[in-house]
Amino acid sequence: METMTNELTVIPRTIGMMTRMMDVINTENIEDAVIVSEEEQEEHPNFIESNTSGITLEELERNCIVPSFGDNQLTISHQTFIHRIEEAARSYFTGESFGNTEIRVSHRILGRVPGALTKKKEELKPEDETIYYQRMAFCFHIRSMSRMMNGEEVHLCIGGVRSLNEENLYARKSPEKFKIFIGWRVKVCSNLMLTNDGLTGRLEVMSDADIYSSALRLFQDFNPEQNLMLLENLGRTNISQEHNQRNLRIITA
């Protein structure tokens, strides 16, 4: 089962734009939000960082469990989601030069292995604890696909975001929800807020193979040259106060 809806959004230039889960999870251990300074945000221009932290694929695979549904079927892991989008991009954009994948996570959820259920908190050892992140966003650039837009060099950006709080993990396995995107100017947040001048796909899939095929279709539907031309034309558009007032009169009439 696989569904995908595509959205094309043209926006003006913006500022700064492994295991089975047999653990008992304590939702009180979800981390509080952390305010990030503007200086730190400038290092990650495609992310609305807020309460997120950076993580690598290796850390996701080594340190994090993969939650399961109530029927003990695994969810699609964050790292699998990332791998499938990367594979689809490299397959479709053959021969292009890709940048590193940047990953941000939030809402850390702590748990215990079954053998540590009766231990006091101060008695817990590292091997007694489990961790996973409820929300994850990632993106990477195609470095060899760069253009000048309104005097600024931009690279084609691809990525995705998902939040496990959209799934009912206490029920039987059902289609899982993801967002994927491709565009020149992107801002994404782990809270699923996404602004994108290109295409965004909303997925509901049962397997990682569905993610791969959905990403390929999204890339096929995206015309980078046409999209860039629309943005450049929009950047040269001047809207006068008289024009705004005339439109306002039409709307309120």
DSSP string, 122-177: GG--GGGEEEEEEEEEEEEEEEEEEEEETTEEEEEEEEEEEEGGGS-TTSS--PEE
Task: Please check whether residue 90 lies inside any domain of the structure.
Answer: yes
Owning domain of residue 87 = 53-232
Give the predicted TM-score (pTM) of the model.
0.74
Task: Please check whether residue 16 lies inside any domain of the structure.
Answer: no
Mean pLDDT of the chain: 80
Token representation of residue 71: 């029927």
Q: What DSSP string runs through 47-74?
A: B--TT-EEE-HHHHHHH----B-TTSPB
Task: Please check whether residue 109 lies inside any domain of the structure.
Answer: yes
Task: Please check whether residue 163 lies inside any domain of the structure.
Answer: yes
Task: Please check whether residue 155 lies inside any domain of the structure.
Answer: yes
41-54 pLDDT tens trace = 445 677 777 788 99
Single-letter residue type at 132: Y
**Of the candidate ranges 8-17, 89-98, 238-247, the one whose mean pLDDT is the lowest:** 8-17
Asked if residue 8 has pLDDT above 70, the reply is no
Rounded CA-CA distance 44/54 in Å is 10
Token representation of residue 17: 């734009």
Task: Please check whether residue 131 lies inside any domain of the structure.
Answer: yes
124-144 pLDDT tens trace = 998 999 999 999 999 999 999
SS3 label, residue 204: strand
Asked if residue 19 has pLDDT above 50, the reply is no
Single-letter residue type at 22: M
Task: Please check whether residue 48 lies inside any domain of the structure.
Answer: no
Domain count, the chain: 1
Rounded CA-CA distance 114/126 in Å is 14
181-239 pLDDT tens trace = 999 888 888 777 788 888 999 999 999 999 999 999 999 999 877 666 665 665 555 65
> Looking at per-residue confidence, does 235 or 36 come out higher?
235
Residues in contact with 138: Cβ distance below 8 Å, sequence separation at least 6, in sequence order: 82, 85, 101, 102, 103, 104, 159, 160, 161
Task: Please check whether residue 171 lies inside any domain of the structure.
Answer: yes
pLDDT of 151: 80
